[in-house]
Chains A and B, each alone.
Chain A
């Protein structure tokens, strides 16, 4: 079976809806399936479970929280990543805090799905953010799958999870296709995946950058043995697997499409420096501090992590 990333998300939603009557989906233009992952769901599951909402992100996000507090398992699809800034109050201040604030009386099994996070060529300043680091920082479970199989498995686990989870589907990963010969299954949150084993350097790559890291690893293959490490979930992060990888390689490069200051790349470097085996100073490749992506394609690309930067960084940590 040839599976696209978007189709994998669609199958995950379909299977979750079919398996658990508590699952429902809220979002804008989801009846028509504008973004892809919700295509055909309305026909199959009806308007009682697939709820096309008015443009009221804050209200329908909190409404989903109210539904979650009442025994449902809502999934919200956000059409663009920047809408998350609008609902930061609802996700961080309400959904995330309910369990602790109520002394464990309540949990909020809410999933936010953000297909098309990060730059889509030409979508400019307010449609091109990739804000996963903010959610990991705030403590929400944060997932960034790189492949169709992982997108399916991690979204299934996110929906089944008793806590709120934000699933970022990177825009640049949506075209990825995979030949799947096995049965799709849930993948536990907090488990990393090593896409390629190596002995010289560990490259931690997040989301679509996994594919860039694999290409660079292939290219450097004859001279440098690169391990490509995909955390898959940024919170909880699989620190144990990273420590094991660094025990083998001792060198670390992180490639991360979030802003440099307080980005997840910074956290990976800091944790490795504090607690793990490093034989050379680590490097990271990120967007610049405080990035706003400009419109012109050349300017947009200039601010995103690039393969040649990764190549240079890998060579640098081996010097």
Chain B
């Protein structure tokens, strides 16, 4: 899965560069251990809410790479029929309640899903992924309070990659991420977000506690994005991180670390199979149909209400 996410993102980057993906993407490269570690601790019926940097979470929860890629290309075969794109990719059949373009917005939605599960007597757990930037969104802190007061089965996963776009977390987050959770009485742990196994172990513990009525948990995964905040950054030549810093984190790349745990030869086999899968995904996505502009607002209302046209001429 690490390899799949990495390869998917690399493929997406080439498609951004060639202009086939419009609007750009927020690459997840470097952070794969978080999505893979957390989702490995989940059951199929568990649900997640994701972020603007959501491809990794969506794939790790089981979404089909060809349909995710088709979504990034705005095709009818995409997960969201080409209506959501990179920042809103969702697959409700797999409990993926959507990537979300608003920082911190997925937190309370996960809390609502957890509340529903508990009311229905199901032992479903909800996971909210968010970045360090979301730690300063009031709505996320309100969500921590609600989840803690009502002991809801939610796991809050902070992917602290050190930067909210270009703003360093060290200049933005007073106190600590885990300290904020602790302030609400939520058990919180800091994890090496470059180590898939460490993330998985910490997530498994928190998920088990939530599932058995122990209330919410909070993980701060210290990680790093090797690429820019958004692909636009490449064109702008922004300088807010030193090459040395990036190189230091690249030394901690979660992929070789995970590959080293595999039996000899298996890593190469995985690489080959992922390459094949992604080539097929690319072919599927690129040859898929574009949506008909006449249906641009087809899905705006669930009851099929047709809004008035913008022009009456």
Interface residues of A, Cβ cutoff 8 Å to B = 24, 48-49, 53-54, 56, 58-72, 89-90, 93-94, 98-109, 139, 141, 161-163, 190, 236, 239, 274-275
Say whether B79 contacts A63, CB under 8 Å.
no
- A sample of 29 cross-chain residue pairs with beta-carbon separation below 8 angstroms, ordered by A number, consists of A48-B119, A49-B119, A59-B111, A62-B109, A62-B139, A62-B143, A63-B108, A63-B109, A63-B112, A63-B115, A66-B49, A66-B109, A67-B116, A68-B112, A71-B116, A72-B116, A89-B105, A90-B139, A93-B105, A98-B98, A100-B297, A101-B88, A101-B90, A102-B92, A103-B80, A104-B302, A106-B90, A106-B97, A239-B308
Known A66-B97, A72-B116: A94·B109 in contact at CB below 8 Å? yes
A87 to chain B, nearest CB (A): 9
A308 to chain B, nearest CB (A): 34
Q: How many residues of B contact A (CB 8 A)?
A: 51
B27 to chain A, nearest CB (A): 21
A234 to chain B, nearest CB (A): 13
CB-nearest residue of chain B to A70: B116
In the bound complex, residues from chain B placing their C-beta under 8 Å from that of A161 are: 303
CB-nearest residue of chain B to A63: B112
Q: How many A-B contacts if CB must be within 8 Å?
A: 154
Say whether B112 contacts A65, CB under 8 Å.
yes
Q: Of A69, A102, A162, A163, which one neighbours B109 at CB under 8 angstroms?
A: A69
In the bound complex, residues from chain A placing their C-beta under 8 Å from that of B293 are: none
CB-nearest residue of chain B to A108: B302
| Given A59-B111, A63-B109, 8 more pairs with CB closer than 8 A | A59-B108, A59-B145, A62-B105, A62-B111, A105-B90, A106-B97, A162-B303, A236-B305
Say whether A63 contacts B111, CB under 8 Å.
yes
Say whether A56 contacts B145, CB under 8 Å.
yes
Say whether B90 contacts A102, CB under 8 Å.
yes
Say whether A163 contacts B105, CB under 8 Å.
no
B133 to chain A, nearest CB (A): 15
CB contact list, B199-245 vs A, under 8 A: none
Residue among A60, A89, A161 facing the most chain B CB atoms (10 A cut-off): A60
The 9 A-B pairs at the shortest CB distance, nearest first, are namely A66-B112, A107-B302, A103-B81, A62-B108, A59-B142, A103-B80, A70-B116, A63-B112, A162-B302
Say whether A105 contacts B92, CB under 8 Å.
yes
CB contact list, B237-262 vs A, under 8 A: none
Check B312 for interface membership: any CB of A closer than 8 A: yes
In the bound complex, residues from chain A placing their C-beta under 8 Å from that of B145 are: 54, 56, 59
A95 to chain B, nearest CB (A): 10
B75 to chain A, nearest CB (A): 11
**Measured CA separation A63–B116 after assembly (Å):** 9
**Measured CA separation A94–B98 after assembly (Å):** 11
Say whether A101 contacts B143, CB under 8 Å.
no
Query: Binary interface profile of B, 114-156, with partner A (CB < 8 Å = 1, else 0)?
Result: 1111011000001000000000001100110110010000000
Check B84 for interface membership: any CB of A closer than 8 A: yes
Say whether A101 contacts B303, CB under 8 Å.
no
**Measured CA separation A58–B146 after assembly (Å):** 11
**Measured CA separation A161–B80 after assembly (Å):** 22
**Measured CA separation A60–B138 after assembly (Å):** 12
B184 to chain A, nearest CB (A): 12
CB-nearest residue of chain A to B93: A105
CB-nearest residue of chain A to B114: A66
**Measured CA separation A239–B307 after assembly (Å):** 12
Q: Of B105, B149, B299, which one neighbours A103 at CB under 8 angstroms?
A: B299
Say whether B300 contacts A89, CB under 8 Å.
no
**Measured CA separation A139–B116 after assembly (Å):** 27
Residue among B102, B113, B298 facing the most chain A CB atoms (10 A cut-off): B113
Say whether B302 contacts A63, CB under 8 Å.
no
Known A59-B139, A69-B97, A72-B116: A99·B102 in contact at CB below 8 Å? no
**Measured CA separation A141–B80 after assembly (Å):** 23
**Measured CA separation A62–B128 after assembly (Å):** 13
Say whether B109 contacts A65, CB under 8 Å.
yes
Say whether A103 contacts B83, CB under 8 Å.
yes
Say whether A69 contacts B112, CB under 8 Å.
yes
